[in-house]
Chain A
């Protein structure tokens, strides 16, 4: 039978029909198991133009065709045949419950006191990597605090901190490679920091000076760096998600040993683009990591007003996406989860959803005072008892990799660097006016050339209307 089939098919449907006819199975998943056995071993999908192998990968896992169904079919043909495959039927009115009895457990490796949980599974980190993870978490924390204060003092127009989410930022970045392309929301500067973006570069963007790679066009914290493979932040929520899927598909077609990674908050999962992206990622079999920072708040909206599912992790299954819930304040767990997910995504060419549970310790931004909608006590508790930095610090200290001395040395050095970066960025002049008109298109069209002339004429007539720190 197998020999006969190996030579006789020319199309997917012909093969399926042959199998259906000869082997008495209708379910695609059952049939594809046979296809997998019959066809010569195919290389993985990357670049393959074989429509069958693409179909195989999207089929439900063989386990879905339960033994019950097989039994039923073999004996009574008590199954229903639909375009999507065979399903067993039931004479009982049964609804799938809106929620499982148990919430999906959360993967963590370090307990609240930074002690390694016995028998925990995790990916080993070297001392060098662990120390860098911790140092970068400290750097991020200091950078956030200093920028925040600078805004309060009127030196910066705006800022948004990532306080409380340092482990998600840094540990996830540490688990990736520089070739993995990042599509951030706006609370992930730590990923840039890990990759080598300097405090000066952050400050330049926040001040929108002429050294800002974004050329002064956007508000602070809208970072982007093509040399670090970090796509520029846009404030619109979740719009980056489908973009990441397209980028992942590009990596897939180029057979790169890399994936796309996109970050978003709990609020972002309500956007249509979340649904669009996850569905596309599953269908396109795109190597993309969806990392959700579930920090409990979308500005003032708690998650109870955001969704009624068991968080975000359960939504992956609806799209056929493998998912994991992880303690976002446990740097070691974050690192391990992202590391593992990345390997899966690239090796199996599939998307992975990671829900990192955490807490947004800071306000949404400098335009927000979160004590208006949550208690200061709650904020304080998360900042102290569940702080990601202290937990990881305990662990690296227990390994002999860190000490009070290295801590205070680091903190005073970073603080000095930050203040210097601020000072320099503040003094650096703004980008030239011409930068308002460039890059709208690759080359300014005639309407923009005309408008630049008109603006310059107006400036000549009314110089007092215009800021003096923008060179003409």
Chain B
């Protein structure tokens, strides 16, 4: 690129996924919570690529969720810095940095505030490579945002906006379920040659603790994982919701129902093959997410699986999701797709 005139843009390099690609579940590491695992991933990302940057509101002192602790001290304020309070500026600036061959790891303070940046994400980031005929790209862009219910977040600290982004060809959408997953997935997102939106389940920042390998490892994108095997019904979810679904599976097992639980991990582009294979085995599908049910990503999964597995289905696809209201405060317990709502849906699906 531009050899004649002296390259203004740097070519991003992408370490191959073959090393450390598979999560080595036997490896042990330190016990970390989610924000510490993410923090480790960011330290590794900045350490392994001198042209990577972390910025957003309040990231300098460590961030409101401590995900960026220690980065500014270690890598300097030119690489890790606070930005003005302006999401469209943060993402727009990140796109420009990425377009020049850098890795721009952008933080949006809450997913609830990502909307001012939606134009930049949809009309610039997602189309940057395509519209230029691959002359340009902003693959080095990764947007991180905490999402999801937290018990007291109300309208503007609890949203799950993933469905909006899953409708945008050109970006990827990734949601980790645990600290170990988050570190490996985030490193993959940062190093993926496409712009990625990475939603972090804020509920798990402190709540989830897991052994996380200390080295540099990556978990592949667009590969769903069967985290619990079963024969009677397939459950698909992502992020914090999987913990709830897992509890429902345990309860269902006591009643003789064998549940297969799949973590989708990447919602766009999503791994249809794994879900399809599972549903062909079980004949039943249940999807659960916090986001409102209407137009939620569960609808996409349901429609696709119906197309592919219609004759194998023993029951309609079930969706246990948030309600079609703004995320309420006092009514949060009623809004949420709880373990018992899921359990009831499992039973009625199995008994259809």
**Which residues of A are at the interface with B, using a C-beta cutoff of 8 A?**
47-49, 51, 54, 178-179, 181, 183, 212-215, 217-218, 222, 224-229, 231-232, 234, 236, 239-251, 253, 256, 258, 260, 272-273, 275-277, 279-280, 283-284, 438-442, 445-447
B93 in contact with A226 (CB, 8 Å): no
**CA of A236 to CA of B84 in the docked complex: distance in angstroms?**
23
Contacts of A441 in B (CB 8 A): 129, 170, 172, 193-194, 269
B136 in contact with A245 (CB, 8 Å): no
- Could you tell me how many residues of chain B have their Cβ less than 8 Å away from some Cβ of chain A? 57
Given A229-B9, A273-B119, A276-B92, 14 further pairs, Cβ under 8 A:
A183-B96, A214-B133, A227-B5, A236-B119, A239-B92, A239-B124, A242-B93, A243-B99, A245-B89, A245-B96, A246-B96, A251-B8, A251-B100, A280-B84
**16 A-B pairs in the complex with CB atoms less than 8 angstroms apart:** A181-B9, A213-B132, A214-B132, A224-B135, A231-B99, A231-B132, A231-B136, A246-B96, A272-B116, A273-B89, A273-B120, A277-B92, A441-B170, A441-B269, A442-B129, A442-B139
From 44 to 102 in chain B, residues with beta carbon under 8 angstroms from any chain A beta carbon are 51, 76-79, 81, 83-84, 86, 88-89, 91-102
Provided the pairs A247-B99, A272-B116, A445-B269 are in contact, do residues A234 and B92 lie with their beta carbons within 8 angstroms? no
B134 in contact with A439 (CB, 8 Å): yes
From 104 to 119 in chain B, residues with beta carbon under 8 angstroms from any chain A beta carbon are 104, 116, 119
Contacts of A243 in B (CB 8 A): 92-93, 95-96, 99, 124
**CA of A389 to CA of B292 in the docked complex: distance in angstroms?**
59
**CA of A277 to CA of B145 in the docked complex: distance in angstroms?**
21
**CA of A443 to CA of B238 in the docked complex: distance in angstroms?**
24
A246 in contact with B104 (CB, 8 Å): yes
**CA of A245 to CA of B6 in the docked complex: distance in angstroms?**
20
**CA of A242 to CA of B137 in the docked complex: distance in angstroms?**
16
Provided the pairs A48-B78, A217-B133, A236-B123 are in contact, do residues A250 and B102 lie with their beta carbons within 8 angstroms? yes
**CA of A440 to CA of B169 in the docked complex: distance in angstroms?**
7
A181 in contact with B100 (CB, 8 Å): yes
In the complex, how many residue pairs between chain A and chain B have their CB atoms under 8 Å apart? Answer: 183
In the assembled complex, how far is the CB of residue A323 from the closest CB belonging to chain B, in whole angstroms? 19
Contacts of A228 in B (CB 8 A): 5
In the assembled complex, how far is the CB of residue B174 from the closest CB belonging to chain A, in whole angstroms? 13
A232 in contact with B135 (CB, 8 Å): yes
Query: A447: nearest residue on chain B (CB-CB)?
Result: B269
**CA of A231 to CA of B127 in the docked complex: distance in angstroms?**
12
Q: Determine which of B2, B88, B130 lies in contact with A439 in the assembled complex, contact meaning CB atoms within 8 Å.
A: B130
Q: Determine which of B8, B76, B272 lies in contact with A179 in the assembled complex, contact meaning CB atoms within 8 Å.
A: B8
Contacts of A218 in B (CB 8 A): 131
Contacts of A442 in B (CB 8 A): 129, 137, 139, 193-194
